[in-house]
Amino acid sequence: MTNHSARILWGILGLAVIAALTVLLVVRPWSAPALVAQSVRADDPGASAPAMLATAAVSVDARPGFAESLGIRIIALPEGDFWMGSPFTEPKAMPSEQPEHRVHISAGRGLSAHEVTVGQFRRFVTETGYQTDAERGMDVSGGVGLDDLGQFVLAPQYNWQNPGFAQTDDHPVVNVSWNDAEEFCRWLTRTDGRTYRLPTEAEWEYACRAGRATLAVAGVDVDQLDQVGNLADESLRQKFSNWANPVAGNDAYAFTAPVGRFFGNPWGFHDQIGNVWEWCLDTFIIDFYTQSPEVDPVAKGPGPGRPIRGGGWETPPTKCSTTIRSGSARTLRTNNLGFRVARVPAEL
Ligand SMILES: [Ca+2]
Ligand SMILES: [Ca+2]
């Protein structure tokens, strides 16, 4: 090949690459996610990222019903696409959060604005006589509380009514297993007449991001976390002088806070980051993101693990993010783990 021929060939290849990139950027706006966390407050109305698609009108049944009479407010998820998980460039990401991958959420789904509360769970128990896994001694007896040094302890006296610290009816219910949360959803479905279940991990993260490309720490700087959620903070350290983990300012709550006490994200969801970890519907598959389907993914499998998301009142700010995911046995109950509900079409 002559030098002239080589220059022509490279010129053609260069034009082809430019054309391909142009198509990608014009036709697929979702292909350009931000690679770094954005420093925006969760209540910043301008926080929506243009790289995210969340455009279509929503069609979730929002008529007031039994759920609303309990104080459960459902916020519809706009149909759209987002980047789920963390990119390989995110230094704090765990392998289970990778690879970052594109996900489409279909219309018709909504999540509760808040975690399910003690009062709402009490209504369920009062009407059904249900006994939680902690109360029935599933696998082991009781639930989780705290000892004098702030260590988590499993003991028979701990359950959703006694998590080892004071709660009122507007606090998130804790010491409930995935089984208990599912049973609550079945009761709510029977009583309300619309279909409820736990959110999938994809629905949960889509709601938590709320149109933002934010990858970490709820879209704010670490030193602002005490403003957006109830995390491990100075008030917790003051309870336990030996508390060694990092804390986030002083959010005024050592343990659980009433739901909705901190301001919501751009779509109106409260406390997804912090307060209590939240159960999700899927089977927990640690490398699911390597095989996730694009449309409405939900991991299914025989494993006993179920995902938990978002961090809780004991979580250091450096460990909290929109993408952090962990898995627990479906019978696990602890005093930093609760749930919120999804309202979905009947066939889902
Ligand atoms: Ca706190
Ligand atoms: Ca939460």
Grade residue 318 by pLDDT with cuts at 50, 70 and 90.
Answer: confident
Burial (0-12, 13-18, 19+ Cβ within 10 Å), 119: middle
Contacts of 151 (CB under 8 A, 6+ apart): none
Q: What separation in Å is there between the alpha carbon of 195 and the centre of ligand 2?
A: 22
Note the ligand closest to the C-alpha atom of 227: 1
Question: pLDDT value at position 91?
Answer: 80
Q: Which amino acid is at 120?
A: Q
Q: What separation in Å is there between the alpha carbon of 269 and the centre of ligand 2?
A: 10
Q: What separation in Å is there between the alpha carbon of 123 and the centre of ligand 1?
A: 27
Question: pLDDT value at position 214?
Answer: 61
Mean pLDDT to the nearest integer, 105-129: 98
Contact 278, 340 (CB under 8 A): yes
Question: pLDDT value at position 33?
Answer: 21
Q: Which amino acid is at 215?
A: L
Say which CATH number the domain at 161 has.
Answer: 3.90.1580.10
DSSP code of residue 241: T
Number of structural domains, the chain? 1
Question: pLDDT value at position 320?
Answer: 81
Question: pLDDT value at position 160?
Answer: 98
Q: What separation in Å is there between the alpha carbon of 157 and the centre of ligand 2?
A: 24
Question: pLDDT value at position 116?
Answer: 98
The answer, yes or no, to whether residue 219 has pLDDT greater than 90, is no
Q: Which two tokens stand for residue 308?
A: 């938990």
Answer whether 0.85 is exceeded by the pTM. no
The answer, yes or no, to whether residue 69 has pLDDT greater than 60, is yes
Mean pLDDT to the nearest integer, 216-232: 69
pLDDT in tens, 255-277: 999 999 998 889 999 999 999 99
The answer, yes or no, to whether residue 48 has pLDDT greater than 60, is no
Question: pLDDT value at position 247?
Answer: 84
Grade residue 223 by pLDDT with cuts at 50, 70 and 90.
Answer: low
The answer, yes or no, to whether residue 92 has pLDDT greater than 70, is yes
The answer, yes or no, to whether residue 23 has pLDDT greater than 60, is no
Q: What separation in Å is there between the alpha carbon of 259 and the centre of ligand 2?
A: 9
Q: What percent of the chain has pLDDT over 70?
A: 79
Grade residue 321 by pLDDT with cuts at 50, 70 and 90.
Answer: confident
Identify the top-confidence range among 42-46, 91-95, 197-201. 197-201
The answer, yes or no, to whether residue 35 has pLDDT greater than 90, is no
Q: What separation in Å is there between the alpha carbon of 26 and the centre of ligand 1?
A: 44
Contact 135, 295 (CB under 8 A): no
| 296: containing domain | 4-344
Note the ligand closest to the C-alpha atom of 231: 1
Question: pLDDT value at position 37?
Answer: 21
The length of the chain, given as a count of residues: 348
